[in-house]
Chains A and B, each alone.
Chain A
Amino acid sequence: MGLLSKLLTFPVSAPVAGVRWSLETVERVVRDELVDDSAIKDELMALQLALEEGDIDGEEYVRREAELMQRFREVRYWREQFGMGVSGGPVRVQRDTEEHG
């Protein structure tokens, strides 16, 4: 650290800031995509409609549903990794401290 690192980083600090900014943008876009299950929900609803309308048979439904479930699990995994809320699953119940057990 100190002078040496200043010297080494100073000449490139401006471009680095730009690169970092775009990397952060990319990271955020990737992250948003990883944790967003709305497209999967839309596909699942469309798939159910297709089954109800007789456009696909039960076998195809089950196969495509399994793919969507896998994608749901991946989104859940990333949401948990990023400390975001997930739907369904175990609920944490917080007890009031003054409660007499």
Chain B
Amino acid sequence: MGTSMAATDGGKYVYCIVRSARPCEFGAIGIGGEANRVYTVHHEDLAAVVSDTPIVIYDPTRENVLAHEFVNETVMREHTVIPMSFGTVFRSGDDVSELLRSTYEAFSDVLDKMRDKIEFGLKVLWDRERVIATLERSNEEIRRLKDEIERNAQNSTYFARIQLGRLVEAALEELGSAFVADVHASLRPVAVASRSNKPIGDRMIMNAAFLVERAESEAFDEKVKALSHRYEELLTFKYTGPWPPYNFVNIKLKLERAD
């Protein structure tokens, strides 16, 4: 293990893997709330960005997740990073070096593929009531049925109401898909890849991640701004990033039970 450069012994929390043959320091920003120093452990020209930690399981609390993300954001300003899953802890610096050594080819390959690529998150929420109001104005069939129900307020309009409900649901689904398709179509030319995740809650119609060339990030920005402007009446765009490519790199490590 001649290339091992663990600065101190004991547990290491690993944030990400970068390409660097020389030791790096990223400041006292480590997870755990004790301003742990963030530094690198090496094998040849691969480096794991780590901080010292006891061997514990970190709960994915907002505080902990933000600490993990903040380190990755800091590192990615100067490096292409392969992010590690939240909560990954090694028993020693030697174990970290061993990981780098045994997966050297795979990490090198992924680092090459991810070079100068960053991730953006885009969640799109809609105001259901507003969209329905728009539909009632623009959709001929819905408008007619609604008028009919209002005119016959005293009569039994039960089935007409059910029919209206179905029409509105179908129109909403169609419209939602059209919005999402339009957003994807606008962003596809400026993205390398995209990934759709499950929407959160009932107001979200899109929860996607985009992999973007660093050089294209301004063009991507512009497109998102144009979209949010075009749909500002109906949709809310929650746009985040740049992130390390969390959604495009997936490293699975064999985990053991904590003692």
Contacts and interface: CB of A to CB of B under 8 A. Distances in A.
Most buried by B among A51, A61, A89, A90: A90
Interface string A33-75: 0000000001011101111100000000100010001001100
B255 A90 contact: yes
B98 A90 contact: no
A65 B253 contact: no
Interface residues of A, number: 29
A88 B62 contact: no
Contacts of A89: 57, 87-89, 255-258
B58 A90 contact: no
Contacts of B91: 90-91, 93
A96 B104 CA distance: 14
A97 interface: no
Contacts of A50: 201
A101 interface: yes
A93 B87 contact: no
B200 interface: yes
Interface stretch (A15-23, A24-32, A79-87): A79-87
A96 B90 contact: no
Contacts of A92: 254-256
Given A49-B201, A72-B59, A91 B88 contact: yes
Nearest to B253: A91
- From DSSP, what is the main secondary structure of chain B's interface residues? loop
Contact of B200 (A42, A51, A87, A93): A42
A6 interface: no
A80 B257 contact: yes
Interface in B27-61: 55, 57-61
B102 interface: yes
A98 B201 CA distance: 52
Nearest to B59: A69
Given A88-B58, A94-B254, A46 B201 contact: yes
Nearest to A42: B200
Given A80-B257, A90-B90, A90-B91, A96 B102 contact: yes
Nearest to B97: A93
B86 interface: yes
A18 B86 CA distance: 44
Given A90-B55, A90-B89, A93-B90, A85 B255 contact: yes
Contact of A88 (B11, B55, B87, B204): B87
Contact of A91 (B1, B90, B198): B90
5 contacts: A49-B200, A49-B201, A51-B62, A88-B89, A91-B90
Given A90-B57, A95-B98, 19 more contacts: A42-B198, A42-B200, A44-B60, A48-B62, A69-B60, A69-B61, A72-B60, A80-B257, A87-B86, A88-B88, A88-B89, A89-B88, A89-B257, A90-B255, A90-B258, A91-B95, A91-B255, A92-B255, A92-B256
Which 7 pairs between the two chains have the least Cβ-Cβ distance? A88-B87, A92-B256, A93-B95, A89-B57, A69-B59, A45-B200, A46-B201
Interface of B: 1, 11, 55, 57-62, 85-91, 95, 98-99, 102, 123, 198, 200-201, 204, 238, 253-258
